[in-house]
Amino acid sequence: MIAEGGLAALWLAAVMAVLQLVLASSAVIGGRDEMARAVRPVAIAQGLLTGLAMLCLILVFVQSDMSVLLVAENSHSLKPMMYKIAGAWGNHEGSMLLWVTILGLAGGAVAIFERRLDQRTLNATIGAQALIAMGFYAFLLFASNPFARLFPSPPDGNGLNPLLQDPGLAFHPPTLYVGYVGISVAFSFAVGALVTREVGPAFARAMRPWVLGAWIFLTIGITAGSYWAYYELGWGGWWFWDPVENASLMPWLAATALLHSVSVLATRDGLRAWTIMLAVVAFSMSMIGTFLVRSGILTSVHAFAVDPKRGAFLLALLAIYIGGALVLFAARIGTVRQGNTFALVSREGALVVNNLLLSVILGIVLIGTLYPLAAAGWGVQLSVGKPFFDKTAGPIALLLVVFMAMGPLLRWRRDEPQALLKRMTWPVAAAGAALIILVSFASDAGLMPLAALVLAAGLAVASVAALWGRNLRRTPLFTWGMVVAHLGIAVSLAGMASDSAFTKETLAVLRQGETRAVGPYLVTMTGIRPVVGPNWSAVAADLSIRRGEGAAPFILSPQSRFFASPPTTTSESAIATRLDGQLYTVLGQPDGKGGWQVRLWWKPFVTLIWLGGALIGLGGVLSFFGRIRRRKRAVYDEYEEAMA
């Protein structure tokens, strides 16, 4: 019953979306204002109905209703409750329903909360949102029904892949989807603005919180995913330039550029065409990502099931939305008056360079990801990976860091190069000091990591320098947000460079009592023992670890785990986190003579990578609330004025 209820809710939501589009079109294009009044309630209703559908799906998983095909394929009655719930979106159909739910709820939220944008543009936006939603409803209802029944129903399900039985699954996909959907709302705003030709500060102010919100979630989602892969995979890597990873990075890059661009549009009424184009690009990237993961055209360990039919459907949707938006852009943007232009040396100038460099990096990642596919079409097999991206995107990213340091220190409208240089003295000094220290103590670090560390030091000081000379208590929250976010980039960059340059690795076969060194630590094998868990059994090695000869030892126990259903083995790394880095231990194979292979890494400052990511997200959150506060205060001030 619940499954049928969910399906009915989904159908109703689809009908609402059609209605929404019809009403919005007649209001905007036909000028029928009485239709406009109905648009908001319909959007809200649509959001609530999809929410209901998702709730039904989760309920069906929680109850382990094996007569529903999706539950039978992906769940098991003995799974812990958290994974029963998370398993609802841990598959293709469920995750698409989650996507559509967030889309519907976001559309409803736009209808409820957006009060200051002019009616026509808002209606056009809600109409565009409905159009996007319709495509996905069609996909769900006709090609990926999550509520399909299975008859006769099996006694129990296939279970969830043990690699996914990790809190990461509960957290990583939903945050990313909120990010992707938030970008689709920004896209709807952009389309709405193009339709009504109202590309100005008002539209930018309406769009900004959505871009910011989406970007925050993408940042958190990618950071969490990176850390999950790092501790789960057992080789110490945290980014692999896998096509699906790139598919999440590309929307983030576009969203970052869009975020900065929309701020310029909101405050300075400039970069109109850039902002619209970036919104379209960001949404294209998130749709391309969705497509890549589910179509099987790229080789990746991350990909969902291979189904060319579904891939074709998504490709068609992609063509309609992106193609349509680009046609609209080319046709309309010429009639939108060009916004303000700026002096080269100014905050706006730095933001233009920021847009440019981020777009170039985005282009490089896109081309690098798709090139093997293109080459395969010509019969050439090749691989593009880390070395390519390090050599091409790396230097451009470092150049971007330089501009990131300068940007917040520049004045709006126009600034003097000499004045800028004066404000840059401390950051440059910090960079210089870092250079001297590194060259003296770590000259074998490699050119790129060295440059990255030097620039990170400069950026860190430059980010904080934006606060100097200000009354800190009266500094707006969104300025704090900018400082913290840029500082986060510096911290993350330092972590990445440190991991590249200073990681120490020891591979050894240890017998009972044998000791090997890794970095500042001495690792002794004290024993091997069996361990039993709820749905797994394992072999654990007890490693006694001390930092230097006389120090107090602690124990790390990496495991090799065997799951019964489905039969898989996973390697559980054991990690010790200290202030100056992480000790990462993995258990390998036995050698048949009493010794066991262990892999040991000492990774100095590697945690900075994800700490930096968290800071970036925090900066975004501060900015978000800072803007809301400013808006509330503006509304309050307007009210006060009106009442006076």
Partner 1 sequence: MRRVLLWLPLVLFAALFGLVALGLFKPADRTVRSAMVDKPLPDFALPAMLPTKPGVARSSFGGGKPRLINIFASWCVPCIAEVPELAKLKAAGVPIDGVAINDTPEAIQAFLDRNGDPYQRIGNDKTSQLQIALGSSGVPETFLIDGRGRIVRQYVSNLQPDQVEDILKTWRGMR
Partner 2 sequence: MRPLLRFLRHAGPVPASAGRQASRLKPLWYDLRRGRPRHKAGVTIVLGLLATLATPALAQQAPLADVQLSDPVKEAQAKALMETIRCVECQGQAIADSNADIAANMRSLIRQRIKAGESPAQVRAWLIQRYGDYISYDPPLGSATWPLWAAPVVLLVIGIAIARSSFRRKR
628 binds, among partner 2, partner 1, none (CB under 5 to 8 A by kind): none
From 222-230, 459-467, 470-478, 635-643, span contacting partner 2 (CB under 8 A): 222-230
CA 245, 246, 248 angle in degrees (round to 5)?
70
299 near partner 2 (CB under 8 A): yes
Interatomic CA distance for residues 454 and 436, integer angstroms:
9
> 77-106: which residues touch partner 2 (CB under 8 A)?
89-92, 95
CB of 193 to partner 2, least distance (A): 18
Least Cα distance to 307 among 291, 286, 319 occurs for 291
Q: Which does 311 bind (CB under 5 to 8 A by kind): partner 1, partner 2, none?
A: partner 1
Is residue 120 within 8 Å of 198, Cβ to Cβ?
A: yes
Number of residues that bind partner 2 (CB under 8 A): 91
Is 305 or 327 the residue whose CB approaches partner 2 more closely?
305
295 binds partner 2 (CB under 8 A): no
Distance, CA of 340 to CA of 348 (rounded, Å): 10
The span of 25-33, 158-166, 434-442, 456-464 binding partner 2 (CB under 8 A) equals 158-166
User: Which of the choices partner 2, partner 1, none does residue 301 contact, using the CB cut-off of 5 to 8 A by kind?
Assistant: partner 2
Complex with partner 1: residue 195 or 465, whichever CB lies closer = 195
Closest approach of Cβ 250 to partner 1, in Å?
12
Question: Closest distance between partner 1 and the C-beta of residue 326, in Å?
Answer: 4
Site residues (vs partner 1, CB under 8 A) = 277, 280, 284, 288, 291, 295-299, 308, 311-312, 315, 318-319, 322-323, 326-327, 329-330, 333-334, 370, 373-374, 376-377, 381
- Cβ 345 vs Cβ 415: under 8 Å: yes
560 touches partner 2 by CB under 8 A? yes
Q: Which amino acid is at 521?
A: Y
Nearest to 237 by CA among 247, 225, 226: 226
What's at 585, amino acid-wise? T
Name 362's bridge partners. Answer: none
Say how many C-beta atoms besides its own lie within 10 A of residue 37's C-beta. 11
Binding part of the chain for partner 2, among 20-28, 328-336, 338-346, 470-478 by CB under 8 A, reads 338-346
Buried b (16+ CB within 10 A) or exposed e, 204-238: bbbbbbbbbbbbbbbbbbbbbbbbbbbbebbebeb
599 is a site residue for partner 2 (CB under 8 A): yes
Q: Which residues in 502-541 contact partner 2 (CB under 8 A)?
A: 505-507, 509, 539
The answer to whether 169 contacts partner 2 (rule: CB under 8 A) is: yes
Q: Which is nearer to partner 1, 114 or 242 (CB)?
A: 242
Element (H, E) at 200: none
Out of partner 2, partner 1, none, what residue 213 binds, judged by CB under 5 to 8 A for its kind, is none
Contact partner at residue 312 from partner 1, partner 2, none, CB < 5 to 8 Å by partner kind: partner 1
DSSP annotation of 508 reads E
Residue from 522, 249, 491, 462 nearest 361 by CA:
249
CA angle 373, 375, 379 (to 5 degrees): 110
Q: Which stretch binds partner 2 (CB under 8 A): 97-105, 129-137, 567-575, 576-584?
A: 567-575
Q: Which does 103 bind (CB under 5 to 8 A by kind): partner 1, partner 2, none?
A: none
DSSP state of 163: G
Of 44-52, 178-186, 381-389, 611-619, the window that binds partner 2 (rule: CB under 8 A) is 381-389
Looking at the chain, how many residues does it have?
644
Crossing angle of helices 201-233 and 272-295, in 10° steps, is 30
- The residue range among 9-17, 207-215, 377-385, 540-548 that interacts with partner 2, by the rule CB under 8 A, is 377-385
Count of alpha carbons within 13 angstroms of residue 141, beta-carbon side: 19
Cβ-based neighbour number of residue 427 at 10 Å: 23
Binding partner 2 (rule: CB under 8 A), the pick from 127, 251, 349, 408 is 349
Nearest-Å Rg of the Cα atoms of the chain is 27
Could you tell me the smallest distance in angstroms from the CB atom of residue 281 to partner 1?
8
The CB-of-284 to partner 2 minimum distance in angstroms stands at 16
Q: Which of 80, 387, 432, 513 binds partner 2 (CB under 8 A)?
A: 387
* Shortest spacing between CB 404 and partner 1, in angstroms: 26
If one asks whether residue 569 binds partner 2 (CB under 8 A), the answer comes out as yes
- 520: its two tokens: 């500042």
Q: Between β-strands 596-604 and 581-590, what pairing exists: parallel, antiparallel or unpaired?
A: antiparallel
Determine, following the binding rule CB under 8 A, whether residue 288 of this chain makes contact with partner 2.
Answer: no
Determine, following the binding rule CB under 8 A, whether residue 568 of this chain makes contact with partner 2.
Answer: yes
Query: How many alpha carbons lie under 13 Å from residue 263 in its C-beta half-sphere?
Result: 20
Residue type, 6: G
Site for partner 2 in 603-632 (CB under 8 A): none
Q: Which is nearer to partner 2, 529 or 633 (CB)?
A: 529
Q: Is the CB of 51 or the CB of 363 nearer to partner 1?
A: 363
Q: Which of partner 1, partner 2, none does residue 5 bind to, with CB < 5 to 8 Å depending on kind?
A: none
The sign of the CA dihedral 495, 499, 502, 506 is: positive
Q: Does 392 bind partner 2 (CB under 8 A)?
A: yes
Count the Cβ atoms, other than its own, within 10 Å of residue 643.
6
CA distances from 502 to 233, 506, 518, 520 (A): 20, 13, 12, 12
Nearer to partner 1 by Cβ, of 1 and 382: the residue is 382
Running DSSP on this structure, what letter comes out for residue 572?
Answer: E
